Structure 1
Amino acid sequence: MSTRTTVADRPGRTGKGTARRPAAAGLRITYLIGQLDRIVSRRLSEALSQHGLTLPQYTALSVLRARGRASNAQLAERSFITPQSANVVVKTMAANGWVTREHDPANRRIVLLSLTPTGEALLDDCNAQADRIERAMLEETGHEAAQSLQGLLHACVRNLRAT
């Protein structure tokens, strides 16, 4: 008796006359999220490079728009980069005129970063690129499914941050 597995015996594979399960049926959600993250990061990086921007810079600019002003430490934490990387990102953004730096009036040792009009315009252009990528990603889903996915992902983030 052979213990060899045939194509028809493996999950997601079919032999002659058997129904095929969807390819993603046996994949873990965490794996799919990781795969999606890599694809989206690659696509965004390619689109952003046309504007002379990196993904960490785009994230930092987005964080600054959402918060108004932020310190290097806050920017690093919310941009998913180390404080050392944030220093490099901020220096480049300041040199390109995308952000300004000013001392926090409450604590002169803290430098607060803000978007400049040039940074705002650049972010608008890059957001248009991100919108195109999101539309392509959600092409076969309806509006309600996309909103549901957004809510579910937001809940996943909240749940894992709480633990």
Structure 2
Amino acid sequence: MPKSAPTEPPHPTPDDVTQHLGHLIKRTQSALRGAMDKALRAHGLTVPQYATLELLALHPGMSNADLARATFVTRQSGNVVLRGLQEAGLITRPATADHGRARPAHLTEEGHRRLTEVQSAVYAIERRMLDAIPPHRLPALLADLNHLATALEQ
């Protein structure tokens, strides 16, 4: 069996895995998730619950499937999140679907209040990240992150 030539790594520091792009992105994501978990726990919410509230504030009537995709959870997990929010009185959904299987969700008055209450804590976390980047570099960073995600989604 012939030996294959070693593959050239696509990054400048192949011997230090902590400097690989994927590792740095995961480290950032992990730090963000940890900070958000801590801040949201004080308000009795999880990250997927908070993300769902934010999305429903912007796009009332989203379905479980759409919310699950947008919050990076499975449809089954998304349904658990929605049930928990509904039981807490933060969202409403009809008992049955008008057509198909989609049951559009909407924030309740309490859901709007809770979202407003917790946004300052979450926005403070994002501000900490943004403060670490020179403002003139932010548009390029955001564009690059979008390009990276798009490249992997193809």
Which TM class, normalised by the smaller chain length? 0.7 to 0.9
Please give the per-residue CA displacement for 1:2-55, whole angstroms capped at 9, x wherever unaligned.
Answer: xxxxxxxxx7xxxxxxxxxxx99x711111000000010000000001110011
* Residue 76 (str. 1) matches residue 68 (str. 2): yes
Report the TM-score when normalising by structure 1. 0.75
Going from structure 1 to structure 2, the CA distance change for 1:32 and 1:143 (only over 3 Å counts) comes to: same
Q: Which runs of 5+ in 1 are unaligned?
A: 1-10, 12-22
- 1:141 CA displacement: 2.1
Cα distance in 1 for partners of 2:73, 2:83 equals: 14
Cα distance in 2 for partners of 1:143, 1:123 equals: 27
When the two structures are aligned, how many residues end up with a matched partner? 139
- 1:147 CA displacement: 2.8
User: Who is 2:144 aligned against?
Assistant: 152
Kindly provide the amino acid, as one letter, of the partner of residue 147 in structure 1.
P
Report the TM-score when normalising by structure 2. 0.79
- 1:87 CA displacement: 1.8
- Give the aligned CA root-mean-square deviation in angstroms: 2.2
Q: Which runs of 5+ in 2 are unaligned?
A: 1-12
Query: Which of structures 1 and 2 has the larger relative contact order (alpha carbons within 8 angstroms, sep 6+)?
Result: 2
Residue among 85, 103, 106 paired with 1:111: 103
Greater share of strand residues, 1 or 2? 1
Identity level (%): 29
- 1:98 CA displacement: 1.0
